A and B are shown apart, each in its own frame.
Chain A
Amino acid sequence: MSFNRRAFMGTGLAAATVLSAPAVLADGHGKPRVVVIGGGAGGATAARYLAKDSDGALDVTLVEPSRTYFTCFFSNLYLGGFKQLSDIGHTYGALAANHGINVIHDWAVGVDRGARTVTLAGGAVLSYDKLILSPGIDFVDGAVEGWSVAAQNKMPHAYKAGSQTELLKAQIMAMPEGGTYAMVAPPNPFRCPPGPYERVSMVAHMLKANNPTAKIIIADPKPKFSKMGLFQEGWAHHYEGMIDWIGEEFGGGNVSVDPEAMTVTIDGEETAVDACNVIPAMKAGRIAEVAGVTDGNWAPVNAVDMSSKADADVYVLGDASQQGDMPKSGFSANSQAKVCANAVRGALTGSKVFPAKFSNTCWSLIGTEDGVKVGATYEATDEKIAKVDGFISQTGETGDLRKATYEESEGWYAGITADMFS
């Protein structure tokens, strides 16, 4: 009963990718070229695995404008005072030094799928045999009345980590005694479903220590949210009376903001606020649209290998993709990147392609040593990435278990960032 290779070859994915390999190998000189756009959870992982596992057989270029990538994951813990900003910053040196990845710090501004080239803002043109897009998210224009990206310094989104996160923290720290923090929460689907609610927990934690009479209002267009029972239990326990969640039923979706006047109007009622975190509706990072692989707000992909439904030589990972049941998370993007890297390497070098397996776990911190988690495994079907099995933390768990869960999340953070950048 030893391992049976034919079992894999029987799957459509393996057969298809292996068969297509010679065609690609035959054309052109030199090593096959892979260009990866976006050095975040999806892109950095894909580039690293492609370069690491192909042992120099592939020419891997990673295009990423930032020299330091601040993870959105754990950025809420920075707001809560559990992490320093420097704890969540990562650089690309090891990817170049350890794996020979060609890291280019620039923006991709054009994709010509016919010529198979990518144009950078600096003017360079890169050719590819396979293109991987993992550009994360951008915001839908006009999603929140009164807000646009031009207002992001007055009312930060802090949904791309770094200076936005720092700014939001400074604004929270500067709130007057008894002041009000408002969050405008996004509609589904969006990056990190528990993210806004973990953020509220961390802001409450910060305020409880520094400004205990302050208030938090959340205007939410949704009737419910990820880990809702767990968060509500935690809020009642740690931050009683501080947090007011206004869901769809009470007009939480009927919101406008005035960044100049610093007011938020929820279902017709205007409130003056001292810090305002607007997290608008999201869409795939703009380059996906420029490349012409989006349909509506997101880029549809085939579940077996994350290839775009519009072009077999383009792959879309992470938040930008529309893949089915996986939440838009760093863990998911990292998981998708490995499946994609395996398929791309197989297609370009003829290496064995193994069946797709995906998984996700999202940890959230509610208060000191009070961690919770939710997770699931997924498989590729013909239509989508489909959920197989899952679990979620329970309300009423012991303090010891919550603490262990929090410590586990720290282990995960160290693990995934090493898996992306080492």
Chain B
Amino acid sequence: MRWGLVLLAVCLGFAGPGAATEPLGDTEAGAKLFSKCKGCHKIGEGAEDKIGPHLNGIFGRAAAAHEGYAYSKSMKRAGADGLIWTAETLDAYIEKPRALVSKTRMSFPGMKDPQDRADLLAYLRAYSDNPADVPEAEPTATGTDHDLDPAILALKGDKEYGEYLSSECLTCHRADGSAEGIPAITRWPEEDFVIAMHAYKQKLRPHPVMQMMAGRLSNDEIAALAAYFKDLEK
């Protein structure tokens, strides 16, 4: 595939990389929009990889090039094929992730509004290594909001039990970690997994199948699943 053909952003008036003098969009609006991303991605000082890779320095980087994060095969292939994250390619990706690179771990359906995407990119851009754009402002990365009992987060999961329980998840979710209409759940940090499952269990996250499935899992069972899926590699 030729990534150079992805020029969707042209009509949006993007200056593209290297011409950072023209702002991409409204950084503050972008900071708010980033709430859609921050369940999986961290950004700012000290940001670490979570469900998704941290996004510091994303501009100008090749796809799947950040070391230490377990990218999907598809994303690695895209990187090997020469996909570089620029304003254009990121814009296309955020608009409809699956249309640009299918079967990755990213289960975000996409952001339709061009202005929103421009704002979000302006915000992301602020954390990329371009001295002219490095913000003085405080990093916005915060953990996912939750009020889980620390004792629940501290539970150590039984992987063998997790393996048995996981068979129920694998009717829909893929063991190879790809996401197609149904999110990937492999290789998440255990804490994120536990928090997400309890959020379904408490009906704070809105998906009827997941509310039902999580609803009957005990704290130990959720910990067991988190422990099993954390290392699942195929």
Contacts and interface: CB of A to CB of B under 8 A. Distances in A.
Chain A partners chain B: yes
Interface of A: 1-4, 49, 53, 331, 334-335, 338, 342, 352, 354, 357, 359, 361, 373, 375-377, 379, 388-391, 404, 407-412, 414-416, 418-419
B216 to A, nearest CB: 5
A373 B210 CA distance: 13
B168 interface: yes
Interface stretch (B35-43, B57-65, B154-162, B192-200): B154-162
Contact of A376 (B158, B212, B219): B212
Given A2-B220, A411-B182, A415-B174, A361 B160 contact: no
Given A377-B216, A410-B181, A357 B168 contact: yes
Nearest to B109: A404
Interface residue range, chain B: 35 or more
Given A1-B155, A415-B174, A352 B212 contact: no
29 contacts: A1-B220, A2-B156, A2-B158, A3-B161, A3-B224, A49-B167, A338-B168, A352-B164, A354-B161, A357-B168, A359-B168, A373-B208, A373-B209, A375-B209, A375-B212, A377-B215, A389-B215, A390-B212, A391-B212, A404-B109, A407-B181, A409-B181, A411-B172, A412-B171, A412-B172, A415-B172, A415-B174, A418-B174, A418-B175
A55 B163 CA distance: 14
Interface centre among B156, B172, B174 (most CB of A within 10 A): B172
B208 to A, nearest CB: 4
B20 interface: no
B181 A408 contact: yes
A151 to B, nearest CB: 36
Contacts of B163: 53
B223 interface: yes
Interface centre among A49, A410, A415 (most CB of B within 10 A): A415
Interface centre among A331, A335, A390, A412 (most CB of B within 10 A): A412
A4 B170 contact: no
B158 A334 contact: no
Given A377-B216, A391-B212, A419 B181 contact: no
Nearest to A394: B208
B151 interface: yes
B182 A389 contact: no
A411 B98 CA distance: 13
B209 A391 contact: yes
Contact of B171 (A334, A352, A407): A334
Interface string B188-227: 0000000000000000000011011101100110011000
A210 B99 CA distance: 30
Interface centre among B155, B156, B176, B209 (most CB of A within 10 A): B209
Given A3-B220, A357-B165, A335 B171 contact: yes
Given A2-B220, A375-B208, A410-B181, A359 B213 contact: yes
Given A338-B168, A404-B109, A408-B181, A3 B215 contact: no
Given A3-B224, A404-B109, A415-B174, A335 B168 contact: yes
A415 B173 contact: yes
